[in-house]
């Protein structure tokens, strides 16, 4: 019985080695016809791990022949299906370079930008691939305005731009988390200066106001009044632009607290438009007094 099991095991191993050897022999073979048929057979079965090396080998063997454009395209497509988007993008780019008007040129162009899109990184990481993908997709849309993938291109561009907005916002907000409120205010203002339409504009304006308030609160008494007035400006910026902001209640409470700290009667300043003018006037007065003090 043991001898019978041993022979069975050896037979299975022999079959496995034989099968493996057949593929390896095929891979190193120069028989284009057999290798071409086998490559497509593996591809159609979804065995991209095996079809990819065969197409790669065929790309050399078929160069200068009528089959080369098909081989080059399916080499990239095998990489794509195997989710090796970096290599797939390189191969599609090579196909477009060699066959700009080829049979698969249109598909290769779209798949190339999709590979670039899929190769981008999370917002916390380097966004160089994101910028590369945005440029490639934008060029594709301009070059082929009637393409069948316009909506997909728009979705990709929106997602990538949203990711850059989040990257900019979170990078600036990092100072706020570190409690460096002066740097936080500067960084957040710069985000809106570079991109006023950042999708996190409401959150940015809120954190700008909070940075001003916390910076003022932590200042020495003689600096506190002027810095509270900066918060008032920031308060009016967000409330004037977004009166229904989800931060309204919190900001209103802080605003009233600052009013009292500045010696203002909150009840006497219900007219917000007039209050803004009053505080602008008060702020100019404080600045003049500080300059005068420095001169003396």
Each residue's pLDDT tens digit, 207-222: 999 999 999 999 999 9
Average pLDDT, the chain: 87
Q: How many domains does the chain have?
A: 1
| 1-21 pLDDT per residue, tens | 544 554 555 454 455 455 467
Contact 205, 241 (CB under 8 A): yes
In a domain, 25, yes or no: no
Q: Specify the residue for token string 């099991």.
A: 5
**Which pLDDT score, from 0 to 100, does residue 267 have?**
53
Q: Tell me the CATH number at 191.
A: 1.25.40.10
User: CA neighbours within 13 Å on the CB side: how many for 200?
Assistant: 20
Q: Encode pLDDT of 66-102 as tens digits.
A: 999 999 999 999 999 999 999 999 999 999 999 999 9
Q: How far is 22 from 25, CA to CA, in rounded Å?
A: 5
Q: What is the structure's pLDDT at 166?
A: 97
Residue 66 covered by a domain: no
Taking the C-alpha atoms of residue 2 and residue 200, their distance in angstroms, rounded to an integer, is: 72
- Report if residue 165 sits inside a domain: no
How does pLDDT run across 257-267, given as a tens digit for each residue?
Answer: 999 999 886 65
| 157 within a domain of the structure (yes/no) | no
Residues in the chain where the model's pLDDT stays below 70: 1-20, 265-296
Please report whether residue 43 resides in a domain: no
Given this model, what pLDDT does residue 12 score?
Answer: 46
Domain annotation covers residue 9: no
pLDDT for 273: 42
194 inside domain: yes
Q: What is the domain extent for residue 202?
A: 180-296
């Amino acid at each position: 019985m043991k001898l019978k099991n041993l022979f069975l095991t050896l037979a299975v191993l022999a079959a496995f080695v034989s099968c493996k050897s057949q593929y390896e022999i095929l891979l190193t073979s120069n028989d284009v016809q057999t290798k071409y048929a086998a490559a497509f057979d593996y591809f159609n079965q979804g065995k991209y791990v095996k079809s990819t090396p065969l197409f790669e080998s065929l790309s050399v063997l078929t160069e200068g022949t009528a089959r080369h454009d098909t081989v080059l395209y399916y080499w990239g497509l095998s990489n794509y299906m195997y989710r090796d988007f970096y290599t797939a993008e390189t191969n599609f780019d090579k196909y477009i370079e060699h066959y700009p008007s080829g049979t698969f040129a249109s598909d290769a162009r779209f798949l190339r930008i999709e590979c670039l899109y899929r190769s981008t990184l999370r917002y916390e990481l380097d966004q160089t691939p994101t910028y590369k993908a945005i440029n490639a997709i934008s060029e594709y849309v301009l070059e082929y305005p009637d393409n069948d993938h316009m909506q997909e291109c728009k979705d990709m561009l929106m997602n990538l731009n949203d990711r850059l907005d989040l990257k900019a916002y979170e990078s600036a907000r990092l100072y706020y988390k570190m409690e460096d409120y002066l740097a936080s205010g500067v960084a957040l203002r710069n985000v809106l200066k570079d991109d006023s339409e950042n999708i996190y504009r409401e959150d940015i304006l809120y954190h700008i106001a909070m940075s001003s308030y916390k910076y003022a609160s932590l200042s020495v008494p003689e600096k506190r009044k002027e810095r509270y007035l900066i918060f008032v400006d920031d308060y009016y910026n967000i409330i004037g632009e977004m009166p229904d902001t989800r931060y309204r209640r919190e900001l209103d409470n802080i605003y009233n607290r600052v009013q009292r700290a500045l010696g203002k009667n909150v009840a006497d300043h219900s007219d917000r438009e007039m209050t803004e003018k009053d505080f602008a006037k008060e702020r100019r007065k404080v600045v003049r007094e500080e300059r005068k003090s420095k001169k003396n």
